[in-house]
Structure 1
Amino acid sequence: MFRLSFALVALIVLSLINLYSYQRFLKRLDFLRKIQLPIKVGMVLITLCEISYFMFLRLDGLDPFLYALFSAMIGVSFMLFCVALLYDLFHIPYAKIPHDYSRRLFLKMVFDVTMLLLALSYMLKGFFNGMKAPVIKEVEVLIQGLREELSIVQISDVHIGKVLGKAFMDDIVDKINTLNADIVVITGDLVDMPVHEIGDKLDSLGTIKSRLGVYFVPGNHEYFYGVHDIMAHVESLGVHILPNRSMVIHNTINLVGVMDMIGKRFDFSPPDAPQAFLHVAPELPTILLAHQPKFIKELKDENVDLMISGHTHGGQIFPFGLLVLLDQPYLSGLYQHSKTTQVFVSNGAGYWGPAVRVMAPSEIVKLILKPNA
């Protein structure tokens, strides 16, 4: 029911922004007046592609090329809408400036061409960035009471599924294995498919080089496809699973993991902080793995030095991050949540929906934890 409601709302929103983009931007470009019918047909086709995407989102057998094409249209719609909104905003002061008729026509043509070029470059740059391999990002984090320096390599939101497959996962593991990690953590949304479709796509997880192990907590997308089956499969590859539980690592840190927040909405395998923190060693610093940054608000008496999250994709397509911040307290990077607690949010290594990223590059993160003397 949740997925059906989400799909219906998404389709209504996408249809409305496509209508807005046509009426308030594309239709008003005078030099495109002679090809308005093809443009109108194009916008209808984009909307139909988006309808098809949400109709087949959870179904097997859809050709990966069509899946990628349909999802790409969501990116096109959002970026066109952003440019259309900007076009409207610039027209407000423009309309109040007195010009003679010929000068007004000339300025409008220049403005229209500029905005169309902006739209095209915005989209091309977004798809180009979306297809890039994840970059390696290093972040230093000072941890009170830490006895020795530790490196934690984080991957999140890989979204192995209909488009991103074994080759993508293998490449990520190859990059991880160059980083000399003490610990590797996977903070959810690893897959976008049920266990029976995974095959060998995740097998390279078993070859990750990490001195003190590899650890996993699920994200919301694992719940869509059978969270317990997926956790069991990941565990069979030699990865430690932390579903509302903790481990003391190398007598140096507590590593705590929780189930995802969507479990509360589904009323199924919800996060349970008291259970997760039940066996932590109070004299050691505590690192918490939670897929969604907003889990930090669920903590009450639990002491956390650093929470590591994903989920937001850094907004994925600027300025979509502004909407993400309506739901999540943090978007991307390292934040000081309180005097004793920091939160790090990764942009993620893969993508969901359109293969588009603008000002939110995909990443593999190496967190270098240092004692805060």
Structure 2
Amino acid sequence: MAMPMSRKLVIGVCSLIFIIICELYALSLHFETRAKVFRAHFVVLVQVFLYLVSKFLWKNLSDFQPATICSSASTANSSAREGDRRETPTRHWTAWKSVLLCYFGLCHCSYLTNLFLMGKDPHWFAMLTYCALGCYLQLATALVILMMLNFGMCCITWRSGGGFSRTIFSKRSSAVLAILYAVCAAFYGLTSAAQLPKVKNVSIPVKDLSNKWYGTHIVQISDIHLGPTVGYSKLSAIVDVINELNPDLVVITGDLVDGSVKTLSDAAAPLSRIKSAYGNFFVTGNHEYYTGDVDNWFVRLKELGFTSLHNSNVKLTPSGGATNDIICLAGTDDIDANKMAYTGHGFDADRTLETCDPRKPVILLAHQPRAAKAALDSSYRVDLVLSGHTHGGQFFPMIIGAYFINPFFAGLYSYGDHSHVYVSQGTQYWGIPMRLGSTMEITDITLHTAPS
């Protein structure tokens, strides 16, 4: 018996109130405990989302009856079909249904591996579950697109007086096409993500840049996401590429890790091999705060030869240059630290930039494009912001959402009279080892003097 709409509404409102109360309670806890609570909340949200997707896929794939998504012909025929369906005895479980259930189970295990199966290199089961999840999302995407096409045809035939009788794809053909698309898209996306990231060369003008800094190479890496599907081996290969570029500066613009130092210390070890003329620098991303272990990561990164710019800056003087040739390299905490009320952390443009000389070039590291825009709109001089976070959307259809919710999406942007923002598409990926419609990159940035 269907639940009355009023009862569903009451349950929905009560659930929302319960969630808000839980969030408020979490904010009152110590930040390490708070991070664990937020991770638990996220696990629940992921499972709810996957349950809804699994329910949708089951409805469309568990049998291949040649039905359309629109009610065709007449109400009488529809009622007859409903009657037949009710009278049909419960079918025996088929091999196909068993495969679907096992497959959905794998996908539901994917994010849980973040809690139990992280170490120096990815565990085979974590890789399997996340690969399955990538195909699963492509399968759901394809079915939604086919349903939209069918609905569009229904509307066209209705407007032409033909009623809701025509569709492009039957339920059977939609299922077959969706599976074919998902397999092909997943194969391409997984293959792309298995390759080394491409070196992307970008030339950026900087106002008042000293001739001593002309041609300086900054190598930016971002969004490596050491965790269930990225580990020591991939990071070691990335470090080899960086060293071949002979960089002057190396910067990591956040989301290096998805776990604690205790879990991923060995996975991060290759960073110690990075060599640069003026130093290696790091700023936090939102995922560092989700670990609840940021301060320990600062200690570990110092051991690995990285300076963490924690709402701070350093003045860099070029080799053979004078003190008036400085560049102020600044870095701010990720803005999600504010949302999480993470003690001692949070986006702070004043603390980060107030000691930079407004007559000299300022380069800011800020993980999220929203933080980049906030810094550029502040009263402080900022010539160049290096960001990440968006992954260029990572894969379709996530690309659409990433494009619309970020003020800067991917690549180089001019801002105001002389400022620029560069948003990396990420050096690896988060969770799902898939790239579809986006590119993994190691960015080799060359600075040159902006025309007067």
Q: TM-score, normalised by structure 2?
A: 0.74
What is the CA-CA distance between 1:263 and the residue it aligns to?
0.8
The answer to whether the Cα contact below 8 Å between 1:260 and 1:270 also exists between their aligned partners in 2 is yes
Sort the Cα spacing of 1:190 and 1:372 in 2 relative to 1 into closer, same or farther, 3 A. Answer: same
Please state how far the C-alpha of 1:307 moved relative to its aligned partner: 0.9
Match of 1:311 in 2: 389
**For 2:310, what is the secondary structure of its paired residue?**
coil
Corresponding position: 1:47 with 2:104: yes
State the distance in 1 between where 2:65 and 2:439 align.
32
Q: Look up the match of 2:27.
A: none
Cα offset, 1:37, TM superposition: 4.1
Structure 1's 349 and 298: CA in aligned 2 closer, same or farther, altered over 3 A?
same
Indicate the residue corresponding to 1:350 in structure 2: 428
* Cα deviation, residue 105, structure 1: 10
Report the counterpart of residue 316 of structure 2 in structure 1: 249
Whether the aligned pair in 1 keeps the contact of 2:354 and 2:380 (CA below 8 Å) is no
Matched, 1:6 2:49: no
Residue aligning to 1:258: 332
Deviation string 1:17-73 (CA, Å, 9 cap, x unpaired) is 232234346755759xx9994444344333322332334422357981111222223
Distance in 1 separating the partners of 2:263 and 2:185: 35
Aligned to 1:82: 141
Q: Which residues in structure 2 correspond to 1:112-261 (within 5 Å)? A: 114-147=177-210, 148-225=214-291, 226-250=293-317, 251-261=325-335
Q: Deviation at 1:338?
A: 3.1
Residue 101 of structure 1 is matched in structure 2 by none
2:189 alignment partner AA: G
When structure 1 is superposed on structure 2, of 20-29 and 242-251 the one drifting more is 20-29
Q: CA deviation at 1:298?
A: 2.8
Give the residue type in structure 2 aligned to 1:117: L
Structure 1 29/160 Cα, relative in aligned 2: closer, same or farther at 3 Å? farther
SS at match of 2:185: helix
Query: What is the CA–CA distance in structure 2 between the aligned matches of 1:91 and 1:27, rounded to whole Å?
Result: 19
Deviation string, structure 1 residues 3-22 (Cα, Å, up to 9, x no partner): 22222222222222232234
For residue 308 of structure 2, what is the amino acid of its counterpart?
I
Q: Once the two structures are superposed, what CA deviation does each residue of 1:55-112 show, in whole Å capped at 9, x if it has no partner?
A: 44223579811112222232122211211111112213445569xxxxx999868777
Structure 1 residue 149: Cα displacement: 2.7
Check the 8 A contact 1:18/1:43 in 2, yes or no. Answer: no
Counterpart secondary structure, 1:177: helix
Pair 27,294 (structure 1): closer, same or farther in 2 beyond 3 Å: farther
For 1:326 and 1:7, how far apart are their aligned partners in 2?
25
Larger radius of gyration: 2
Alpha-carbon RMSD: 2.9
Moved more, 171-180 or 60-69: 60-69
Q: Distance in 1 between matches of 2:93 and 2:242?
A: 50
* Cα offset, 1:232, TM superposition: 0.9
The separation in 1 between residues aligned to 2:169 and 2:313, in whole angstroms, is 64
Deviations 1:217-243 (A, max 9, x none): 111222233001011111112211111
TM-score by length of 1: 0.88
- 2:341 maps to which residue? 267
Residue 2 of structure 1 deviates from its aligned partner by 1.9
Identity of paired residues, percent? 29
Task: State the AA in 1 paired with 2:127.
Answer: A
38-47 or 175-184: bigger deviation: 38-47
Whether the 8 Å CA contact 1:314–1:347 is kept in 2: the answer is: yes
TM-superposed deviation, 1:368: 1.4
CA distance in 1, matches of 2:301, 2:152: 56
Could you tell me how far apart the structure 1 residues matched to 2:220 and 2:108 are?
Answer: 34
**Which of 384, 404, 417 is matched with 1:339 structurally?**
417
Matched-pair contact (CA < 8 Å) for 1:287–1:304: yes
Residue identity matched to 1:210? S
Q: Distance in 2 between matches of 1:180 and 1:231?
A: 25
Name the SS of the counterpart of 1:336 in structure 2.
strand
Change (3 A) 1:339 1:74: farther
Instruction: Mark the runs of 5 or more structure 2 residues left unpaired by the alignment.
Output: 1-36, 68-90, 161-165, 318-324
1:276 is aligned with what amino acid?
Answer: T
CA distance in 2, matches of 1:110, 1:9: 32
Give distance in 1, aligned partners of 2:141 and 2:93. 20
Which secondary structure state, in structure 2, belongs to the residue aligned with residue 353 of structure 1? coil
Q: Secondary structure at the match of 2:48?
A: helix
Distance (whole Å) between structure 1 residues aligned to residue 93 and residue 450 of structure 2:
63
DSSP 3-state at the match of 1:291: coil
The answer for unaligned runs of 5 or more in structure 1 is 99-103
Q: 1:100-119 counterparts in 2 under 5 A?
A: 114-119=177-182
Question: How far is the alpha carbon of 1:144 from its aligned partner?
Answer: 1.8
